[in-house]
Amino acid sequence: MLPQDTYKHKGLRKKLVETLIAKGIAHKEVLKAMLRIPRHYFMDSAFIEHAYEDKAFGIGEGQTISQPFTVAFQSQLLGVKPKEKVLEIGTGSGYQSSILLEMGAQLYSMEFHRTLHNKAKKLLNEMGYQAYFYCGDGSKGLESAAPFHKIIVTAGAPAIPNPLVNQLHKGGKLIIPVGDAKSQKMLCITKKDVDDVEVQEFGKFSFVKLVGESGWG
């Protein structure tokens, strides 16, 4: 059974969205999704009182539910349009997944940790969302369902994984944090053609490590 979503929760979400706007988030569909999604559904009961603070929190397996600003920033860069085929690497709690689904994505989401995969899949199904969930090495992408219009990676990588670029449609976009174990630059990679990509940098962030063959091992 889902937790209650009270007037208090909705009021706190409204304040959170106001904070995100003040920090530079302007994408209307991202803001609408953030306003609709009860973030406290995705958090341990011990953290529920803090669910609408602009902070990351632990979700087990050494992973976190990302700071709302980070979720909004990546979602804004991704710019999902309804019915676009999107691959998410790092399902985690499922919060980022729900934002993408609210924006109309046809979502394929991969998670390395079986416990988190099972929990997120169950919760999102209970919330009425339809998506494709996989447990495995997300750094390899999902060749069986490629190509994708958009790919989003919610963990820090040491370099841009070639399999993910290869699995993009021409004109497709990959959002990924790349750097060392402590700090990464947010990159937006646009696939112009088979061997032609444009890379843009958008500030520094701190993510958990991307696990897998094209990640940190």
Q: Which residues are catalytic?
A: 66
Q: Is the dihedral of CA 120, 122, 123, 127 positive or negative?
A: positive
Q: Where do we find the tokens 């940790």?
A: 113
Strand partners, 168: 148
Could you tell me which residues come within 8 angstroms of residue 69 by beta carbon, excluding any fewer than 6 positions away? 19, 20, 23, 25, 54
DSSP secondary structure string for all residues of the chain:
-PPP--HHHHHHHHHHHHHHHHTT---HHHHHHHHHS-GGGGS-GGGGGGTTSS--EEEETTEEEPPHHHHHHHHHHHT--TT-EEEEE--TTSHHHHHHHHTT-EEEEEES-HHHHHHHHHHHHHTT---EEEES-GGG--GGG--EEEEEE-SBBSS--HHHHHTEEEEEEEEEEEESSS-EEEEEEEEEETTEEEEEEEEEE--PBPPSTTTT-
